[in-house]
Structure 1
Amino acid sequence: MKTQQSRSDDGLTAVVPATAPQQVVKRRRKPLTWDKVSFFAVFLGLPLAIYLLFVIWPFVQAFGYSLTDWSGFSPTQNFIGLENYAKIFTDDIFMKAMGNNILLVIFLPIITIILSLVLASLVTVGGSSKGQIKGLRNSSFYRVVSFFPYTIPAIAIGIMWGQIYDPSGGLLNGILTGLGFDQFKDFAWLGDKNTAMIATMFVIVWGFVGFYMVLFVAGIKGIPAELFEAARIDGAGRFRTAVSITIPLIRDNIQTAYIYMGILALDAFVYMAALNSGGGPDNSTLVMAQQLFFTAFSKGQFGLASAMGVVLAVATLIFSGLVFLVNRLTGGDKDVSL
């Protein structure tokens, strides 16, 4: 050990240890044990293998089929390159279906999320402005009623609303006629190109607004009540409280809801097939998934249908990426302290 001498004022000399130079301590990797290997294999390797087998590999197969003229029922598959993609992007019907999907992506998530946020705020913090922070009276009943449509299968919802929209004996026209609106006596809601898409969108919103309301209720319940009380003391109204407190603190829930509603809007096959199996008047409700189904199983062009499926998958990925990008650019990646 190195030492150094130190002399004091009284002439005494002391020997003290010198300061040892700092040494960089290298961390040694712990050897792999059977427990670690088995943990990685079960909780990482197995899910990854399942994901690759049932998600990635079918997509790769679909892309491979999209480069052929496969009919779906013959063993021969002639490679034709990107010819199928050239066909679908010059097909007026498919482009019409893509336009309908874009319309759904723009309006469905916005309408559903706004309505869900309003309902969630009412049943959690929208009660009396005096006393304890609480929701409307009988808010539990409203939650159950709002969530009930989500428990019904989509095909059942489509069939039910198809009967409600029926021009001859439908419930909607019967109610409107009974209220004195005789112009709706035989009005075809799903048979008019001006109202078919609007009527269909209403059905989808009706089926999902309750589910996302419950999702937002769970997020709002996690916000400390002191924040709402402080906003009330400062004189903030319900709208200001929602914009300044509720929405920023449940931003992740809103982003998740927007992505899922966007994916639904890019598909929407079940609702469209149940309400207007032929694509509606002048293809006003036709979506890409419907056109894919017609092309594959009615025309026997599985190669072309696979190309449509690839385009639909890529559109879904682009939409999700845009949502994450917008959320990041607007400060969604920053932690909001309570």
Structure 2
Amino acid sequence: MTQPVSGTTKGGGQAAAAPRRRKKLTWDKVSFMLVFLGVPFVLYIIFVISPFIQAFIYSFTNWSGFSPKYDFVGLSNYVRIFQDNLFLKALGNNILLLVVVPLVTIVLSLALAVVVTVGGSSKGQVKGLKGSGFYRVVSFFPYTIPAIAIGIMWGQIYDPSNGLLNGLLRAVGLSGFKDYPWLGDSRTAMLASMFVIIWGFVGFYMVLFIAGIKGIPAELYEAARIDGAGRLRTAMNITIPMIRDNIQTAYVYLGIVALDAFVYMAALFPNAGGPENSTLVMAQQLFFTAFQRGQFGVATAMGVVMAVATLGFSGLVFLVNRLTGGKDQELV
């Protein structure tokens, strides 16, 4: 008599799968979780979460920063900063940076990355410009310089009397820029500051986008070329959709830079917020409020506003990416 096949019943039905046995925890597994999960989690709680909670608590007090005594004042610190014209001016400057710096940096970085990787000859194999490795190194170089050094260097370049920029403009016959105060004129101070920040980050995000583009199969570009797609359409329909996650990451990090910008502005404008406070940012106003006025309670309220703005911006970027297709977007 033939025996039923393993895994089936006599009636031909599938036998119920044997329940999986739960593996016992061993000392090796427990020690691994403690070292590689538990310790980092504890350190994150101590050095990230705990200071933020403390700052949130101090934002409801009149703490002077140098005394263990303080009184709770409720929401008065938040009411005060949103009635402070200087803080509102700084907030507006940060919003302007948030709109311009990430957008311009990403557009320039993406354009350069496309040219370096797939912007070569339109005939034969898809490739970038000749000598693309040299362009990568040169463009990445500014990112290796500390932000404070970049600010000091560009402060010298923008110098009205002896700066390189005015010297070059005079050399090409633009005499109207003799001794022009790029950082001393409220009409140009913010634009000049934005250029410095963008200059410092374009190379890094260019390399980031190059890494993403390198992961796109060359067959997609070859198929687009056969179909007669131009460079712009290829970039819009293939390159950008395939590296959406890279662009999203870049936008979040550049948004954080724009909402801070303290180092760049402090280096370019050592005497506070530039002409008519046209370059004052929230981080500078927080610093002045805490260490010059001794109002640490008000300063921590500003810090909480900055943190909430950063989290809100990051969430907005993720939401927009999800609503516009995200990973599920199909190539057209």
Work out whether residues 184 and 275 of structure 2, in 8 Å CA contact, stay in contact via their aligned partners in 1.
Answer: yes
Number of residue equivalences: 323
Q: SS of the residue aligned with 2:328?
A: coil
Work out whether residues 126 and 135 of structure 1, in 8 Å CA contact, stay in contact via their aligned partners in 2.
Answer: yes
Q: Give the one of 45, 56, 65 matched to 1:63.
A: 56
Deviation at 1:39, TM superposition (A): 2.0
Asked whether 1:175 is paired with 2:153, we answer: no
Q: Give the one of 309, 314, 330 matched to 2:308.
A: 314
Structure 1: gaps of 5 or more residues = 1-15
Q: In structure 1, what is the equivalent of residue 243 of structure 2? A: 250
Give the whole-Å Cα distance in 1 for the aligned partners of 2:227 and 2:72.
Answer: 69
Q: SS of the residue aligned with 2:71?
A: coil
Give the whole-Å Cα distance in 1 for the aligned partners of 2:248 and 2:327.
Answer: 11
Q: In structure 2, what is the equivalent of residue 327 of structure 1? A: 321
Equivalent residues in 2 for 1:1-338, closer than 5 Å: 17=10, 23=16, 25-277=18-270, 278-334=272-328
Work out whether residues 189 and 196 of structure 1, in 8 Å CA contact, stay in contact via their aligned partners in 2.
Answer: yes
Closer/same/farther in 2, CA of residues 223 and 19 from structure 1, 3 Å limit: closer
Q: SS of the residue aligned with 1:38?
A: helix
Deviation at 1:44, TM superposition (A): 1.5
CA deviation digits over 1:44-85, x for unaligned, max 9? 111111111111100001011111111111221111111111
Work out whether residues 249 and 336 of structure 1, in 8 Å CA contact, stay in contact via their aligned partners in 2.
Answer: no
Pairwise CA RMSD of aligned residues?
1.8
Closer/same/farther in 2, CA of residues 144 and 275 from structure 1, 3 Å limit: same
Amino acid at match of 1:75: P
Q: SS of the residue aligned with 1:75?
A: coil
Deviation at 1:34, TM superposition (A): 1.6
TM-score normalized with structure 1 length: 0.92
Give the whole-Å Cα distance in 2 for the aligned partners of 1:91 and 1:280.
Answer: 18
Work out whether residues 70 and 77 of structure 1, in 8 Å CA contact, stay in contact via their aligned partners in 2.
Answer: yes
Structure 2: gaps of 5 or more residues = 1-8
Amino acid at match of 1:174: G
Give the whole-Å Cα distance in 1 for the aligned partners of 2:57 and 2:137.
Answer: 46
Amino acid at match of 1:76: K
Give the whole-Å Cα distance in 1 for the aligned partners of 2:196 and 2:318.
Answer: 27
TM-score normalized with structure 2 length: 0.93
Deviation at 1:21, TM superposition (A): 8.7
CA deviation digits over 1:138-158, x for unaligned, max 9? 111111110111111110100
Give the whole-Å Cα distance in 2 for the aligned partners of 1:325 and 1:252.
Answer: 13
More displaced 10-residue stretch of structure 1: 76-85 or 249-258: 76-85
Give the whole-Å Cα distance in 1 for the aligned partners of 2:23 and 2:40.
Answer: 25
Deviation at 1:27, TM superposition (A): 3.6
Give the whole-Å Cα distance in 2 for the aligned partners of 1:187 and 1:20.
Answer: 88
Q: SS of the residue aligned with 2:73?
A: coil
Work out whether residues 241 and 329 of structure 2, in 8 Å CA contact, stay in contact via their aligned partners in 1.
Answer: no
Amino acid at match of 2:171: G
Q: SS of the residue aligned with 1:254?
A: helix
Deviation at 1:99, TM superposition (A): 0.6
Give the whole-Å Cα distance in 2 for the aligned partners of 1:255 and 1:210.
Answer: 17
Amino acid at match of 2:178: K
Give the whole-Å Cα distance in 2 for the aligned partners of 1:20 and 1:202.
Answer: 72
Amino acid at match of 2:283: A
Deviation at 1:32, TM superposition (A): 1.9
Give the whole-Å Cα distance in 1 for the aligned partners of 2:129 and 2:37.
Answer: 45
Deviation at 1:308, TM superposition (A): 0.5
Q: SS of the residue aligned with 1:116?
A: helix
Give the whole-Å Cα distance in 1 for the aligned partners of 2:313 and 2:307.
Answer: 10
Deviation at 1:30, TM superposition (A): 2.5
Give the whole-Å Cα distance in 1 for the aligned partners of 2:13 and 2:235.
Answer: 60
Deviation at 1:182, TM superposition (A): 1.4
Q: SS of the residue aligned with 2:149?
A: helix
Deviation at 1:35, TM superposition (A): 2.1
Closer/same/farther in 2, CA of residues 17 and 304 from structure 1, 3 Å limit: closer
Amino acid at match of 1:38: S
Give the whole-Å Cα distance in 1 for the aligned partners of 2:66 and 2:222.
Answer: 66
Q: SS of the residue aligned with 1:79?
A: coil
Give the whole-Å Cα distance in 1 for the aligned partners of 2:166 and 2:328.
Answer: 50
Work out whether residues 159 and 274 of structure 1, in 8 Å CA contact, stay in contact via their aligned partners in 2.
Answer: yes
Work out whether residues 66 and 307 of structure 1, in 8 Å CA contact, stay in contact via their aligned partners in 2.
Answer: yes
Deviation at 1:282, TM superposition (A): 1.1
